[in-house]
Amino acid sequence: MTQFRKSAALSRIQPAATIAITQKARDLRSQGHDIISLSIGEPDFDTPDHVKTAAAEAVARGATKYPPIPGIPELRQAIADKFARENGLEYAPSQTIVCTGGKQVIANALLATLDEGDEVIIPAPYWVSYTQMVAMTGAAPVVVQTTPEDGFLLTPAALEAAITPKTRWLILNSPSNPTGAVYSTDTLRALADVLERHPHVWVLSDDMYEHLIYGATPFATMAAAAPNLKDRTLTMNGVSKAYAMTGWRIGYAAGPQPLIDAMVLAQGQLTSGAAQPSQWAALAALTGPQDALEVQRKAFQQRRDLVVARLNAIPGMDCPTPPGAFYVFPSCAAFLGRHTPAGKRIETDEDFCIALMEEGGVATVHGAAFGQSPFFRLSYAASEAQLTEAMNRITTFCATLE
């Protein structure tokens, strides 16, 4: 029998823990366990009706063929308009690209620029795919820890210390998955001051959670906060989180023309243009009524407040109030060394999350999956009823730990 041999590229990576845990929750549920899943980063709202209608109309009029590789011109224009209107960033439509989800934006950018031996600075805790995508290219992720005391924000000193002649990118994600941290214009400028001394370092600004901000700090993005870095910054965004369109698979970006051209080259040989009906749907999302954004933002804020208050009422639990996104990232340090009712000893945040799922009936993701322990991430993109029941369960579970 011919033996299967995995490529070196794939041998360097692992499936996302977030997806593995969501699958484990599904498996437990199919065995009859009652599990509330707060492990996935997906809004529980439905895609707006006018967006669905735009896609149905596109299909009915035959917009079902191969689209241009970088995206349909109407959507690229809408993306350029969005960046100008909402972020004060001027880009020609040719400097934009439409991809199959925000994920493919990042994958294209890294594939288009990285070689073996290159380095990419990734502040931790980070979104799970950054390190894996970088590793797939043969480059090295350089993980820089942040602290709850610094609001989980990268400091200029830590950035300076991480830069080497091999650094190609700094990946910034604000509001952050998993901590909900938000970079202000000032904090971005302080990082930009460092980057100005290192012109070989580019910035990938992942703005997927732009519209989910609850605190006093307004949204800011590097190319606007530090215009002198615009010609080495890729600003990415998408419709997945903002418009409850995770399944439509549309992400987009704008940046310097040579980078966009290289990303289009990569995309052309990998997937071609993103699904055409989804592009028409995304066009409707970006150009249509925006009132749903505020309704959802308020709903998320209410849920965040509920979850933070309930978690902090648990003796030992320490949950900072995140200013953005739809996740909380509490510390579970106080529970390490304790035993569950089934007699398991909790040594790590992963043990805590597995026991919470198996014995407490709530699925969350351990901090180690995001590069920082001992924490866990809980997504509050769920109904208030579900969240209340989940908080009851977590409270009971923690009280039973000895």
Work out how close the CB of 19 gets to ligand PLP at its nearest, in angstroms, rounded to a whole number: 10
Which segment (87-95, 98-106, 266-274, 275-283) binds ligand PLP by CB under 6 A? 98-106
> Which residue lies nearer to ligand PLP by CB, 162 or 325?
325
Work out how close the CB of 110 gets to ligand PLP at its nearest, in angstroms, rounded to a whole number: 13
Other C-beta atoms closer than 10 Å to the C-beta of 391 total: 21
Which segment (97-105, 264-272, 277-285, 330-338) binds ligand PLP by CB under 6 A? 97-105
Q: Which residues contact 127 (CB under 8 A, 6 or more apart)?
A: 173, 176, 177, 178, 206, 370
109 is a contact residue toward ligand PLP (CB under 6 A): no
Which residue is nearest to ligand PLP, using beta carbons? 101
| Assigned token pair, 347 | 């040594």
102 is a contact residue toward ligand PLP (CB under 6 A): yes
Cα gap 380→306, rounded to integer Å: 9
The answer to whether 354 and 162 have CB atoms below 8 angstroms apart is: no
Q: How many residues touch ligand PLP (CB under 6 A)?
A: 13
Q: CA angle, corner 398, sides to 396 and 402, nearest 5?
A: 115
Type of residue numbered 111: L
277 is a contact residue toward ligand PLP (CB under 6 A): no
* Of the candidate residues 48, 70, 251, 255, the single one contacting ligand PLP (CB under 6 A): 251
Give the length of the chain: 402
177 is a contact residue toward ligand PLP (CB under 6 A): yes
221 is a contact residue toward ligand PLP (CB under 6 A): no
Tell me which residues in 310-329 interact with ligand PLP (CB under 6 A): none
> Which residue lies nearer to ligand PLP by CB, 214 or 335?
214
* Of the candidate residues 208, 223, 354, 387, the single one contacting ligand PLP (CB under 6 A): 208
Work out how close the CB of 135 gets to ligand PLP at its nearest, in angstroms, rounded to a whole number: 17
> Which residue lies nearer to ligand PLP by CB, 129 or 388?
129
What phi-psi label fits residue 401: left (phi over 0), alpha (psi between -120 and 50 degrees) or beta? beta
206 is a contact residue toward ligand PLP (CB under 6 A): yes
* Of the candidate residues 83, 127, 202, 243, the single one contacting ligand PLP (CB under 6 A): 127
* Of the candidate residues 22, 235, 246, 296, the single one contacting ligand PLP (CB under 6 A): 246
Q: Which residues contact 272 (CB under 8 A, 6 or more apart)?
A: 66, 67, 69
Report the sign of the C-alpha dihedral through residues 81, 298, 226, 126, in that order.
negative
Work out how close the CB of 54 gets to ligand PLP at its nearest, in angstroms, rounded to a whole number: 18
240 is a contact residue toward ligand PLP (CB under 6 A): yes
Work out how close the CB of 147 gets to ligand PLP at its nearest, in angstroms, rounded to a whole number: 20
Work out how close the CB of 176 gets to ligand PLP at its nearest, in angstroms, rounded to a whole number: 7
Other C-beta atoms closer than 10 Å to the C-beta of 52 total: 15
Tell me which residues in 26-65 interact with ligand PLP (CB under 6 A): 41
Cis status, amide bond into 323, omega within 30 of 0: no
Other C-beta atoms closer than 10 Å to the C-beta of 197 total: 9
The answer to whether 117 and 166 have CB atoms below 8 angstroms apart is: yes
Work out how close the CB of 134 gets to ligand PLP at its nearest, in angstroms, rounded to a whole number: 14
**Can you say how many angstroms the Cα of residue 45 is from the centroid of all Cα atoms in its chain?**
18
> Which residue lies nearer to ligand PLP by CB, 173 or 235?
173
101 is a contact residue toward ligand PLP (CB under 6 A): yes
- Long-range interactions of 265-271: CB distance < 8 A, separation 24+: 265/112, 266/108, 266/111, 266/112, 267/69, 267/70, 267/97, 267/99, 267/104, 267/108, 268/69, 270/108, 271/100, 271/104
Q: Which residues bind ligand PLP (CB under 6 A)?
A: 41, 101-103, 127, 173, 177, 206, 208, 238, 240, 246, 251
